[in-house]
């Protein structure tokens, strides 16, 4: 089960968060339709799981980066400069 999701993740290394999320939505819609075979379901779930993990990592990275930017400090500094 892990193998296909890992492969799917490896197959689309440059996938963006939005594309990944859209793909997950698409996978869920496919699974919700009930048309997917067991085999496809297994594959899709593995892929979806990998994509969700990717998205979670992406979100964490972006959040960390946003926090790293310290925009509040920048605002505080600029307000101090423009007031002087």
Partner 1 sequence: MSTFSSTAMPAAGDGDAGAGIPGSGLSGPFPVGEYARALRGRLRAFAQVQLVGELVNLRPSRARVYFELRDPTGSIPCAIWLKDWEAICAHAAGPPADGMQVVVSGGCDYYPGSATSSPGFSFAVADLRVAGEGDLLARVERLRRQLAAEGLLELQKRLQLPPLPRTIGVITGEGGKARDDILAGLSRRGWAGRLVWGFAPVQDRHAAPAIVRALGDLATVGGVEVAIVARGGGSLADLLCFCDETLCRTVALLQMPVISSVGHHTDRTLLDDVAAVSCSTPTHAAEAAVGVDCTRARADQVAAAARLREQGRRAVLSRARLLAGLSRAPAAHLERQRTRLHQQLREIRAGARRRAQSERELNGRRALVLQRKGDSALLDCRRRKPRELERLALALAAHDPQRTLERGYALVQSPGGEPITTAAHARTSERVQLQFADDVIPAKILEP
Q: In the chain, what is the greatest distance between 2 CA atoms, to the nearest angstrom?
A: 68
Cα separation values, 21 from 8, 24, 61, Å: 14, 5, 16
Query: Where in 54-83 is the site for partner 1 (CB under 8 A)?
Result: 55-56, 59-60, 62-63, 66-67, 69, 71-72, 74-75, 78-79, 81-82
Cβ(69)–Cβ(38) under 8 Å? no
Residues near partner 1, by CB under 8 A: 1, 17, 21, 24-25, 27-28, 31-32, 36-39, 41-42, 44-45, 48-49, 52, 55-56, 59-60, 62-63, 66-67, 69, 71-72, 74-75, 78-79, 81-82
């Amino acid at each position: 089960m892990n193998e296909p999701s890992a492969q799917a993740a490896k197959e689309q290394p440059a996938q963006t968060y939005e594309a990944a999320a859209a793909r997950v939505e698409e996978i869920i819609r496919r699974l919700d339709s009930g048309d997917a075979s067991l085999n496809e379901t297994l594959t899709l779930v593995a892929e979806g799981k990998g994509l969700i993990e990717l998205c979670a990592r992406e979100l964490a990275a972006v959040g960390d980066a946003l926090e790293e930017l310290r925009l509040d400090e920048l605002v505080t500094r600029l307000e101090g400069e423009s007031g002087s």
